[in-house]
Every structure is written in structure tokens, then in C-alpha cells.
Amino acid sequence: MSVQKVIEIMSESSKSWEDATSTGIEKASKSIKGISSSWVKDQSVKVEDGKVTAFRVTLKVSFEVK
């Protein structure tokens, strides 16, 4: 039986929500080993002068506790 830890991270991209998600997981995996899953908790955008300038995601990331 394994035990999983779940943390919450936020990530941002100027391209898309998908890119923000990928970037967040890639960056988190540099300091968190064994990420096994993630899900998008929330999505939002940054708006400047009436235009979307950034896509933001809040991710729940799980990994096994050794």
C-alpha cells in the first residue's frame, strides 16, 4: 500500500492553459520526485487593456510518500 501526498501549485503561460499545465508539472518535477498525477483545480486569465495576456492554472499534484 502506498501513501500519496497532494500539493497545490499555480502556473502561468502566455500561450494557453495546456502550456501553463505542462510548464507547471515540468518545473515541479525538478524538485518533487515521483509525481504520479495532477488535475486542474481552477483556470483563470490575466487581462490587460481588454486583451488576454496570460493563462493561469491551479493544479493539484500528487506524488508517493517514500
pLDDT digits 0-9 by tens, 14-63:
999 999 999 999 999 999 999 999 999 999 999 999 999 999 999 999 99
- CB of 13 within 8 A of CB of 23? yes
pLDDT at residue 2 is higher than 90: no
Q: Which three cell numbers stand for residue 5?
A: 501526498
**pLDDT score at 23:** 97
- Domain at 3-65, CATH class: alpha beta
**pLDDT score at 1:** 78
Provide the 3-class DSSP secondary structure of residue 49: coil
**pLDDT score at 57:** 98
Give pTM, 2 decimals. Answer: 0.87
Please report which residue ranges of the chain form alpha helices under DSSP H. Answer: 17-28
**pLDDT score at 66:** 85
- CB of 5 within 8 A of CB of 35? no
Strand 51-65's sheet: what is its strand order?
3-13, 51-65, 35-48
